[in-house]
Amino acid sequence: DDAAMQALEGDEEDGGDDDDDLTDQSEAWLDALAAMQAEEIEFNLKDADRADRARRMQEMGLSSEAIANTLDVAVDTALEEADAGMQTFEAEAYLDDIDYTTVESHTQVEKDPDTDEPLRQQMVYVDEHTCIGCTNCAMIAQSTFFMDDEHGRARVFQQWGDDDETIQVAIETCPVDCIHYVPYDELKRLEIDRRGQNINAKARLVSQGEYGGSSTAGGGPRAFTAPQQISGNARARCTNCPSRGCKDCPMFGVGKNPEFERREKERIEKQERRRFEQMREDQSKSVEL
């Protein structure tokens, strides 16, 4: 009986150790679980932060590839693809809908929604009185120039419809140098003035003044219109050289050429420095007195 009693007590003692072990294990499991939950929460927060940053970068117009490389995440490209598809569709629809006989490119220029200012100041304009209708520009930059049926001269129907380089080639290879860079305001004035123009197409052939006579185009006599005043004709033709920093650069508009702005800033800073030094000199003189 004594032996049985001791065994029972021994069992009870062992059972007590087992209970302690179980408690320790449970606590360890609970700690591990809490740590896992904390890690998961941290991961989710980081993930949400990355997703938020990716969304903002997408809104800023960065490509999916650039975002994925920067944040090291996969980016949903569905929105971007849909947007690109819509832009292509809109561009194609615009080209389909265009009425080449009446289109005025300044009405299609993309503007900043906040300021209503054109996103780009430099525009392209054909001096139609000088154009000889060789079709060169319309062949090279087909999404920008077309040949106007009425006068057989080239005309811009869409500003920057082609990339800059293609347009530059079209301009540089025009045999009579009659394609000009003009600022937006001038483009608007020229296109409005151009309405109803009547170019004397034969004047060149018979060596006579280009205007002053009349034609019967449009059903009755119409006076020929005078050549337009285009800033590019008023001086040496602009050769797309913004680095010269002309104040009235037709690429950027009056006073907006970056090189001109840089020089202006330098000039004003120098002026301020001189004024400040002069003030200090005057002050020290008055102290000496």
211 within 8 A of 226, measured Cβ to Cβ: yes
The 111-130 site mask, x for binding ligand SF4 (CB under 6 A), equals ---------------x----
The span from the CA of 147 to the CA of 135, in Å, is: 7
Q: Does 178 bind ligand SF4 (CB under 6 A)?
A: yes
Sign of the CA dihedral running 34, 38, 43, 47:
positive
Q: Does 179 interact with ligand SF4 (rule: CB under 6 A)? A: yes
Q: Does residue 167 bind ligand SF4 (CB under 6 A)?
A: no
Nearer to ligand SF4, 133 or 213 (CB): 133
Q: At what angle do helices 2-59 and 64-71 cross, to 10 degrees?
A: 140
The Cα 174–Cα 180 span in angstroms is: 11
Distance CA 208, CA 213 (A): 10
Q: Per CB under 6 A, does 249 bind ligand SF4?
A: no
Nearer to ligand SF4, 179 or 251 (CB): 179
* Residue number with CB closer to ligand SF4 (77 or 143): 143
Rounded distance between C-alpha atoms, residue 199 and residue 69, angstroms: 57
Should residue 54 be labelled a site residue for ligand SF4 when binding is judged by CB under 6 A? no
The tally of CA atoms less than 13 A away on the side-chain side of residue 77 is 11
Q: Does 134 bind ligand SF4 (CB under 6 A)?
A: yes
Q: Single out the residue of 176, 192, 223, 241 in contact with ligand SF4 (rule: CB under 6 A).
A: 176
> What six digits make up the tokens of 75?
């980016």
Give me the least distance between CB of 91 and ligand SF4, in Å please: 23
205/228 Cα distance (integer angstroms): 20
Does 133 contact ligand SF4 by CB under 6 A? yes
Q: Quick check: 154 binds ligand SF4 (CB under 6 A)?
A: yes
Tokens of 287: 């102290």
Q: Which is nearer to ligand SF4, 135 or 214 (CB)?
A: 135
Q: Enumerate binding residues for ligand SF4 (CB under 6 A).
A: 126, 131-137, 153-154, 174-176, 178-179
